[in-house]
Amino acid sequence: MALYSEKVMDHFRNPRNVGVIEDADGVGEVGNEKCGDIMKIYLKIEDGIIEDVKFETFGCASAVASSSMATELIKGKPVAEALELTNKAVAEALDGLPAYKMHCSVLAEEAIKNALEDYYKKHPEAK
Would you call 98 helix, strand, or coil by DSSP? coil
Catalytically annotated residue among 104, 107, 108, 115: 104
Active-site residue flag, 60: no
Active-site residue flag, 104: yes
User: Nearest-CA neighbor of 57 among 7, 5, 107?
Assistant: 107
Q: Which long-range contacts (CB under 8 A, 24 or more apart) does 52-59 make?
A: 52/21, 53/17, 53/21, 54/17, 54/18, 54/19, 54/20, 54/21, 54/24, 55/15, 55/17, 55/18, 55/19, 55/111, 56/18, 56/19, 56/20, 57/15, 59/35, 59/104, 59/107
Catalytically annotated residue among 18, 35, 89, 102: 35
DSSP label at residue 111: H
> What are the residue numbers of the active site?
35, 104
